[in-house]
A and B are shown apart, each in its own frame.
Chain A
Amino acid sequence: MEQTGKKAIWQEYQKEIAEDKYYYARSCIRQNFFPGSEHAFLNILRNNLKKDLHDDAKHTTCTGIGYHSDVVPMETTMTVVARNFSLMTEAGYQNYIPSCITSFGLYTEIIETWKHFPETLEKTRDFLFKATKRTFDLPNNLAHTSDIIYKFRHEIAAMAKYKLVDVHTGRPLRIVDHIGCHYSKMFPEKGVGGAEYPYVLAGMVEAWGGETIDYPERRHCCGFGFRQYLVKANRSYSLSASRKKFESMQPYEPDFIITNCPGCPYFMDRWQYVIAETEHKVYGAGGKAIPVLTYEEMAGLVLGYNPWDLGLQMHQVPIEPLLEKMRIAYNPAEKYLGVNGKDLGKPVIPELFKYQDE
């Protein structure tokens, strides 16, 4: 059906997201820093939403961080990506869903490059066959894993055990979102809401009872910058960018930060830790730091998953103030235990991050 008027104008901010049968590509960063998020995503897709998702042991990194650190040439990255597509083809799937925004941006860029420069696609096919004897099909549908949760946000809302509401006052939680630069800055039409009206996370927040804050530096980079974080000599770049965002969101007293990219929650969590330790400064209301969640963690909490199954104990900023606001049932004594209650000791808790009797 042809869209007219406002619907036609907003059409370019929508995207087609496959309904089912996904080939899942894991994220290097998310697996290392937020492993519970990937575990939760699979559980939500398979157990809550009853979707078919292929979790393949054979796929590798897309080389994205190496590519954007400029140590991996474009031809190499294209061919590694082609190998991952070959594995999707081999497994009988057509809908490719990477868990990483750097990957999603890179896959998008590569597919677009292959369209605009068909000789690069042919060259990649030759390279892949020469190196591995493999062939590949392009995905029919490419979506970031947050797009999938966004697509089914109302179904998740219908199953929700908790709402994004301060149960003590009835106030919707104030949430700032950060969608990550490579989600839609390069190809705005490939992201929900584009680069100007980011809606992939805001849509989840609204569907689950919260309120999104459109703060001034909402679209500013978290500061990863690849080599700008990875090399210690450059790291002030990264800290400065996150700090700019914290200063910008502080007046709105957010209850938490929700993130799209696997790297952004790491930086927004850990740079709050660094500022607290070096300047004795925190940015949340009531002298507290602002908890930072991945969208899988937010969905998991809403669905009633155990916070420690989600891996929230691996964050540096304490998450308990948010759990209390939402009155989520949790056992503080289990926070740092291993499987079957194994005693793993406890981390040192920074002075400004101590919660209750810690």
Chain B
Amino acid sequence: MTDYFSQLSEDVRFQEGLNACINCGTCTAICPAAEVYDYDPRILTDMLQTRNNEMVEELLKSDMIWYCGECMSCKTRCPRNNVPGLLVIALRNLSQKTGFFTESEKGRQQLFLKRSIGEWILNYGYCVYAPHLHTSMFPELGDVWDWIDNHMDDVFTRVGAKLGKDGPGILRKIQSEDLDELKAIFDATGGTERYETIEKYSAKKAKEMGLNLDETHNNEYFLKIYNDNDKNHHEF
């Protein structure tokens, strides 16, 4: 059996995040995710410190590792300097490397994040880009955003922005030579490989589930992972 625990141990975030947990539960008391999900960072930390490889594999395939919001409130409060939030980041990293992320409903959502935030980074140089934000996907953007969306250039110009224009400024057009450097960094450091891995395992899972998945944002698998939320995630 693959030694997943050893692979996790190579991650500096895992090394920083796991000291001797005394099971006090302070992290769980402070955790915003524990309030809304069947999630307990104390249990997660305790599972990892057993060094049980089968348990690690179970975690990599589970919804549990995707509940955390990475707010890092646990970092401030732990009396023993454990950081469950960092452990989660290391677990999510390995879950994607191994393809196990598609085994859970919450893990499968990585495809949406890759195709939105991930691609906006490489296409525009921004994690978020206003021309792609609409109330159809994000209804809480509100009535005011519908007005902004309908008059985007005018509204942004009114407040001093340079949306899509050359030179420095707010939401300026990031030039192709800078985007090329960004892409070269992704190619050299594993970023591009990560994106390809997410696509590859998602395509495999979509086929297994009998759902259509194409390159657009409008297909059965993509809409399912964006919208579906099993109520059992919130059963305590």
Could you list which residues of chain A lie within 8 angstroms of chain B, going by C-beta atoms? 26, 28-29, 31-32, 35-36, 38-39, 55-58, 60-61, 63-66, 68-76, 78-80, 83, 105, 113, 116-117, 120, 127-128, 130-132, 134, 181-182, 185-186, 188, 195-196, 219-221, 223-228, 230-237, 240-241, 244, 270-271, 273-274, 308-311, 313-316, 336-339, 342, 344-350
Contact = CB atoms under 8 A, between A and B. Distances in A.
B117 A66 contact: yes
Interface in B1-41: 11-13, 16, 32-33, 35-37
Interface string B106-142: 1001101110111001000111111001000110111
Given A60-B182, A79-B189, A66 B121 contact: yes
A17 to B, nearest CB: 22
B69 A69 contact: no
27 contacts: A28-B126, A32-B171, A39-B159, A57-B168, A57-B172, A57-B174, A58-B178, A61-B121, A61-B125, A66-B127, A79-B185, A120-B12, A127-B185, A132-B184, A132-B185, A181-B71, A185-B76, A221-B32, A225-B68, A228-B69, A232-B138, A232-B226, A240-B35, A273-B142, A347-B143, A348-B146, A348-B147
List 3 A-B pairs, minimum CB-CB distance, nearest first: A225-B69, A39-B160, A347-B147
Given A72-B194, A76-B189, A32 B129 contact: yes
A346 B159 contact: no
B189 A338 contact: no
Nearest to A271: B140
Interface residues of B, number: 88
A241 B133 CA distance: 23
A230 B118 CA distance: 12
Given A36-B159, A314-B155, A347-B144, A73 B170 contact: no
A316 B4 CA distance: 47
Interface in B173-191: 174-175, 178-179, 181-182, 184-191
Given A36-B160, A65-B127, A131-B185, A345 B171 contact: no
Given A76-B186, A316-B142, A232 B137 contact: yes
